[in-house]
Every structure is written in C-alpha cells, then in structure tokens.
Chains A and B, each alone.
Chain A
Amino acid sequence: MAFGRWFKEIGFRHVIGVIAVIYSVFPILFIISAAFDPRTGLTLSNDLFSQFSLENFTSLFNDTMFWRWFANTLEIGIFSALGTVLMGAAAAYAFSRYRFSGRKQGLLVLMVVQMFPQLLAFVAVFLLLMTLGDVVPALGLNSKMALICVYWGGALGANTFLMYGTFNSIPLELDEAAKLDGASHSQIYWTIILPLVTPILAVVGLLAFIGAFNDFVLANTVLSGRANWTLAIGMNQWVGGNERSWEWFAPGALIAAVPILLVFLFLQRYIVAGLTGGSVKG
C-alpha cells in the first residue's frame, strides 16, 4: 500500500489516537510528576519530571491522617459493595426465577424509586440519622456503619435491573436439572446461579465501591469527626478550600488512584458490558 493511501485509510487514525492518548494521560502524568517533586508546596510545579524525591510521601505519611482516611474509604467502599452485590443479586434472582403476587408491581416500584437519586435526600438522611443516633449510637451521625447502611439503601434501586437481565439470560433448565438431582433452593442459588453471573456481580460491586469512593455529599453529611473521614472529605480540606496542600494531595491521589485503575484495567471487558447496560459516570 502506498503511504498516501495508507495514511488516508489507516494512518490518520493513529494520529488521532496519539492525540487522544496524550489528552487522556497528560493529567495523570502531571500528578505522578507532582507527587515526586519536592517543590510541590503551595503551588504545583510545572516542569514535569525535573526533580525526584520522596519528600512529599514522607510528609503525607507523617503529618496527615491519610492512611486513616484511606482505610476508612476502603472499609466503607468494600462493605458497601459487598452488601450491594448480595442484596441486589438476591433480589434480581427472586424477580427472575419466582412468580409471586406483586412481582410486576414490585419491579415497577423499583423502576420508579430508581428515578429518585438518594443523593438528593441528604437533608432527610441527616435528620433520620440524628434521630436514630439517640437510640442506637452505632447508627447515628458520625458512624461509618450508618453511612454503609445508607449506601445499602440504594442497593436494590440502582442495580436490580442491571442484574435482572443477566439472571434472565441463564436458562431455567439449569435450575430444573439441579432440582431433579436433589439440590435445595439455597444450593441452586449459591453454587449454580451465582458462579454463572460472576461478571455482572464484579461490575456491580466495582461500581458500588467507586460510588462510595467518590461520594462527598452523603459522606460529609454523615461523618463529622476527622478520624472517620473518607478521602473525599479529607482531600477536600487539603485542596478544596483556601488551604492548598498540593504536596499532600499529589502523592495521596496517586496512591488512592492506583488500586482503582488496576481493578478497572483487569475488569475492563466486564465493565464495558455492564456500563452499556445502563450505569453511567460522566
């Protein structure tokens, strides 16, 4: 193929691709460079990769509650994701496999509830937890468990439909064969159906984890004590207000983003399937 024709049909795609790659990774490269640049004080330093030092990391570990917040974020995210997956999958299974009275109405109610973002009810969440806290402090304000419960509240609304479709795609004959072999309901559910839908479980779990990771409004409404903060709240204190602590933000963001980036890359093809099924970001 002559170069002219090659460029017209294929080559220009690489040009666009390279531009898109630069556009995509530039901010991430920038944060890597800033994390290792000891001059990242009040200002971010703009000549990339000209300095290398671990000063920012030592300062982050010694002078801040970063690990505490990181651990809180992971804890809240993991429990929120686990509960969301378990409850969402169970509900999707029930809707997919059983025929019971109120089933259609139930699906409709979930559909309607799904249209009302829980996020918007943060004032009511605040008041509810204030009341609950008088009775059971563990479910009151400034409790991580209370926040996890709030996230669990969204487990059915957001995910049942996403999983429902997948459960429906698994042939009923499988259940019936297992039943003939003497399997109980719970055996069928746990050992036959769930392993078959693992990809969608992974996607729902990951999305729930990322939702909790990124959430600011509900987390900040519930968690008032510094020791209970998540990264979103803590980092907002560093760089969101007037105090500009970039020397902490850059290495902190780097550490916090790495696990999520890795999981994303590993689960890439499942996520693509899950996303096109309906959940969004951006």
Chain B
Amino acid sequence: MTDVSPRTDERVKQKEPRKVFSQATNWGPGFLTKLILMAAVNALGLYVLVNAYTAGSWVVFGGMALILVAVDYVYFSKKTLALKYLTPGLVFLLVFQIFVILYTGYVALTNYGAGHMVNKSQAIDAILMQNTRRVEGTAQYPLAVVRNGSDLGFAIIENDEVFVGTADQPLEAVDGATIDGTRIAEVPGWEILSMGEVTENQTDVLALRVPISDDYEADGAIGTQTGTTGFVFRSVLTYDDSSDALTNEETGTVYTANGSTGQFESADGETLNPGWRVFVGLDNFKDAFGDGRYAGPFVKVLVWTFAFAFLSVATTFLLGMVLAMTMNDERMRGRKFYRTIMLMPYAFPAFMTAFLFAGLLNTKYGFFNEVLFGGAAIPWLQDPWLAKLSVLFVNLWMGFPYMFLICTGALQSIPSDMNEAARIDGANGFKVWRYITMPQLMIQVTPLLISSFAFNFNNFNLIYMLTNGGPRFEDSSVPVGSTDILISMVYQISGLSGEASRNFGLASAMSIIIFIIVGAVSAYSFKRSRSMEGAQ
C-alpha cells in the first residue's frame, strides 16, 4: 500500500501530450465497444429516471441522475483513467453496501416495523379507509370485481358509462367497455372475476374500498357487500389538518397524533392502527439492553456468540494444526491422498452440512443415537448444553480443513534448519514444538485466526440450519434460543423469518451493535497483522 513507484507518475505525465493514444480520439473497435456499452447504460439509466419520475420516487431519481452523470463523465473524460477501472464496482459498492449500511443506521433510530410500516399521510389514508360505514340512502351501482395482475379493483356503471378503480387509484371512466343489460361484460385491460372467484377472494373483496375521487374524505368510496352491487361508503373518522387529529363522528372521540410514538391516540389511551414511522432516537438500543423482553435473551446470546466464535476457532485450529503437523513429514507416503480427502468437508456446501448433521443427530432415528450409541435417545439438539456441544462439533467438521490448509502452508515455510539446530542443542520433540514451531506458526496464522473469529461470529447458516437457534428459551417472548448467535437472533427479531412480528428498528439496532463488535475485532486484526509484518 505504499507508493513505491515514482516511475508511474513520470510515465503518466509524459504521455499526456501524445494524443495518439488517447481513447477519446481513437476510433478503433475498443472505442466503438465503449460507445455501445455506454449507450446501453444511458438507455437503462433514462428508463429508471422516467419510471422514478412517474412514481414520484425522488430519492431514486436523484441517486440515478447522479450515478448517470458521474458514469458518463468518467468514461468520456480523458482525465479519469483510474476511475474507468473503479467505477463499475464503486457504483454497486455505494448503493448496495455503503448505502444499506448507513440506511441500517437510520432504520435503527426509527420505530420501523409491524404497525409502523408507512409514512404519516399513508397511515391517515389507511385509517380512514379501514373505518368506513355504508352511507344510507345514496345511489347503488351495478358492480363487477376486476383484477389486473394481483391488483383487485371494482368496475361500476354510472349513466351507461363504465368506471374502474382500485384501492390506490380513484374511479376513472374507461373506453371500450361493454355493458350487457345491467351487467359489465368486458373491461379492456382488466379481467372480470366470476362469482366463484369473488367467493374465493371474499375477505379482500369485502375489505376493498375504491375512492370515488381524489378527495376521498369528501366524496367517499365504493364498497360492496355482495360482489354485484356497489354502495357509497364513507369514513366514520374525519381528519383535521389544523389540530392534526382524527375525530370519530359517531362517538365523538378525538384521536390526536402522537409524534413520539407515531400513532393516533385518544384521551383514554386508545390507539388507531396502523401507525407511522417516527424517529425514536436511541430507544431501540435501550430496548436491546434494557427492555425485559429483549435484554435477558440478548445478554445470553451475546455471551454464547463470543463463546461460540472463540471455541470454534480454538477447536478447529487445534485439530487442523495437529493434522498438519502429522502430515508434514516428507518421508510419509500418500500425503496428497490424505490431504485431498480432508479437504472434502470444506468443499461440501455449508448449509447442506448443517442439514445433514441435523439428521444424523436426530434423537429418535439419527445415526449417532441409533448406531454409535446403540439406540440411546440422547437429545443432541434439544438439550441446551448438548445442542451447544453439537453446534461446536459440527463446526469442527466443517472448519478443520481450512485450519489444516493454512497450518500446512505455514509449516512448510518454516525453515527446517531451525528445528535441526534445536535438536542438536538437545531439545526434545515437545520442546521444539513449544519454542520453535509454535511461535513461528502463530506469527503467520494469527491474522487468519482473527478473521476466522469474525466469520464465526456471524456464522448464520450453521446455527439456523442445524438447530434453528433452539432449544427455545422458555421464559422469553421472542423466538430466541440457547444456540442462537447474534446474527440469527437479529434475523428472528426482524420478522423476516416469519416467526415473529416485524421489528425492523430493533433488528437494525442490533445489527449496528454487531457491526461495531465485528469492526473492532477486524480493526484489531488489521493492526495486529500490520505490526507483525514490521516484526518479521
């Protein structure tokens, strides 16, 4: 990483005036290829820009515009030679790694999650739509339930004209629809659901409200109770902008917006769903350490994660080193054969290994209990301590070949004359190992051991696929268990596994905590390996 090459600088400077080699004036096949590629990139970018504009997605629009300008500049300017090589990777790095990491930080400071998935105006719309009542005495419309892909909508007849709309799209007249008596026969671009299909989707159809116009509050929406006739529905709630409150006109209850919890609340504490996303500061972090539901399991999981990562490295390294030292004798025949076979666990896909061992360790019919232990029903994956032991055992199988490989490499680079000198001085085998081999080996493998620690710290597959974190803590309300490590706990808490309600805020906060731990370990590893280089 040191600048060792003044030659390069000179060379670049000398080259500048010689325009012959400049790519921008060279109309060779290379330039044409570039032109075609850039045309494709720009076309794609414009397509995204147009779509983002129509969807009103301004963040995407701005991001795409910036990327497009930057990419065009880099590839058509003569001053950006190095960037030409860096840009493709940088674009993906910025969007899919740096941005998502920063966004994780942002989400960690919000209450994003079940019940708070949308912004405030969407929440108000949803609440108004969900609390509707049929308006007696208003017109009724012949109605058909229509579908466009996965979007359900209604088509109604008014004054011999057909109007179509969905929950997000107010009613609009469509041309070319055919009416058969009082029945809608065909609507271009929409598929009309048969009575059977309506029954199949009954819940969705009954809940669907199609706004009559953009001003939903004033004009109301169309809903149906039969699937063939539409009625006007209106919300029992009204939203008042100036007081930022919803009022129930039937009961008179006023629900005021609470900006710190992101919900409408009445005076006696009743809340309306859904709520909206708000900034909650460090509350999620406080929950991780302070809220009884999470803090207890979190601390247990944290301790086990460290223990698991440390013990994984220690056991795999010990076995790998012993095997490497055993095989490191040139007089031994068939070393290549042994080495190849020992590599196989490493090449076997990790998630399949975990599944396979989950089968082998099954209490009732697994190979271990049935064959090795003569039918003893040992609860390998059900008992908290045995499950931890099993996890380490399986990881030993998966991980020792890596350690074997790196130790073999390191051992072969240790000069043999040192060992010989020590032997001549009268050291026995153990002393040679303790004072000569081991220190030399450690210098080389320590950085790799630390990065192995960081890897196992987040060894999600093994845990999730072998034990699924189980056995579950009985006293905990979150789906977390004795073998869960932080990353698998975060996965459960996020709700994306489907076993708990979604809590993106808390999950992101925990992700940040892991980021910090892993980052600290890696930084330490980096410094350490640097200082080692200096020592050698």
Knowing A23-B397, A280-B452, A282-B399, the reply to whether A128 touches B100 (Cβ < 8 A) is yes
Mask of B1-35 contacts with A, CB within 8 angstroms, 1/0: 10101011101100000000101001010100000
Interface check B101, CB cutoff 8 A: yes
- Taken together as a complex, chains A and B put the C-alpha atoms of A172 and B355 apart, in Å, by 49
Knowing A125-B100, A131-B57, A136-B47, the reply to whether A90 touches B85 (Cβ < 8 A) is yes
Q: Which residues of A contact B399 (CB under 8 A)?
A: 281-282
Query: Which A residues between 67 and 123 are near B, CB-CB below 8 angstroms?
Result: 83, 86-88, 90-91, 93-94, 97-100, 103-104, 106-107, 111-123
Among A94, A184, A246, A272, which residue has its beta carbon within 8 angstroms of that of B86? A94
Q: Is the interface of A mostly helix, strand, loop or mixed?
A: helix
Q: Are A17 and B100 in contact (CB under 8 A)?
A: no
> In the assembled complex, how far is the CB of residue B273 from the closest CB belonging to chain A, in whole angstroms?
20
Q: Which residues of B contact A17 (CB under 8 A)?
A: 323, 326-327, 334, 338
Among B341, B359, B410, B468, which residue has its beta carbon within 8 angstroms of that of A24? B341
Interface check A226, CB cutoff 8 A: no
- Taken together as a complex, chains A and B put the C-alpha atoms of A120 and B511 apart, in Å, by 6
Knowing A87-B89, A122-B494, the reply to whether A21 touches B338 (Cβ < 8 A) is yes
- Taken together as a complex, chains A and B put the C-alpha atoms of A268 and B346 apart, in Å, by 11
Interface pick from B139-147, B263-271, B459-467, B472-480: B459-467
Q: Which residues of B contact A23 (CB under 8 A)?
A: 397
> In the assembled complex, how far is the CB of residue A256 from the closest CB belonging to chain B, in whole angstroms?
7
Q: Are A127 and B365 in contact (CB under 8 A)?
A: no
Interface check B427, CB cutoff 8 A: no
Interface residues on B, range: 35 or more
Q: Are A150 and B496 in contact (CB under 8 A)?
A: no
Knowing A90-B85, A115-B518, the reply to whether A122 touches B491 (Cβ < 8 A) is yes
- Taken together as a complex, chains A and B put the C-alpha atoms of A70 and B143 apart, in Å, by 46
Q: Which residues of B contact A117 (CB under 8 A)?
A: 458, 515, 518
> In the assembled complex, how far is the CB of residue B421 from the closest CB belonging to chain A, in whole angstroms?
20
Q: Are B82 and A103 in contact (CB under 8 A)?
A: yes
The residue in chain A whose Cβ has the minimal distance to the Cβ of B515 is A116
Interface check A16, CB cutoff 8 A: yes
Interface check B228, CB cutoff 8 A: no
- Taken together as a complex, chains A and B put the C-alpha atoms of A17 and B519 apart, in Å, by 38
Knowing A99-B9, A264-B347, the reply to whether A216 touches B460 (Cβ < 8 A) is yes
Q: Which residues of B contact A150 (CB under 8 A)?
A: 96
Q: Which residues of A contact B57 (CB under 8 A)?
A: 131, 134-135
Interface pick from B188-196, B198-206, B247-255, B366-374: B366-374
Q: Which residues of A contact B92 (CB under 8 A)?
A: 83, 87, 149, 152-153, 155-156
- Taken together as a complex, chains A and B put the C-alpha atoms of A136 and B45 apart, in Å, by 11
Knowing A239-B355, A264-B347, the reply to whether A275 touches B93 (Cβ < 8 A) is no
Among B47, B360, B370, which residue has its beta carbon within 8 angstroms of that of A30? B360
Q: How many residues of A contact B (CB 8 A)?
A: 105
- Taken together as a complex, chains A and B put the C-alpha atoms of A156 and B401 apart, in Å, by 27
Q: Are B405 and A275 in contact (CB under 8 A)?
A: yes
Among A14, A87, A210, which residue has its beta carbon within 8 angstroms of that of B332? A14
Q: Are B3 and A99 in contact (CB under 8 A)?
A: yes
The residue in chain A whose Cβ has the minimal distance to the Cβ of B320 is A282
The residue in chain A whose Cβ has the minimal distance to the Cβ of B456 is A282
Q: Are B395 and A172 in contact (CB under 8 A)?
A: no
Knowing A120-B490, A136-B48, A276-B406, the reply to whether A249 touches B7 (Cβ < 8 A) is no
Among A120, A149, A160, A184, which residue has its beta carbon within 8 angstroms of that of B515? A120
Listed by A's residue number, 23 A-B pairs whose Cβ atoms lie within 8 Å are A12-B326, A17-B334, A27-B360, A28-B344, A83-B92, A98-B82, A99-B5, A103-B82, A113-B98, A119-B460, A120-B487, A121-B104, A124-B107, A132-B60, A136-B47, A217-B491, A240-B465, A275-B405, A278-B451, A280-B448, A281-B399, A282-B395, A282-B399
Question: Which residues of A does B touch, CB under 8 Å?
Answer: 9-10, 12-14, 16-17, 20-21, 23-25, 27-28, 30-31, 43-44, 46, 83, 86-88, 90-91, 93-94, 97-100, 103-104, 106-107, 111-128, 131-132, 134-136, 149-150, 152-157, 160, 172, 176, 179, 184-187, 189, 210, 213-214, 216-217, 220-221, 232, 235-236, 239-240, 244, 246, 249, 253, 256-257, 260-261, 264-265, 268, 272, 275-276, 278, 280-282
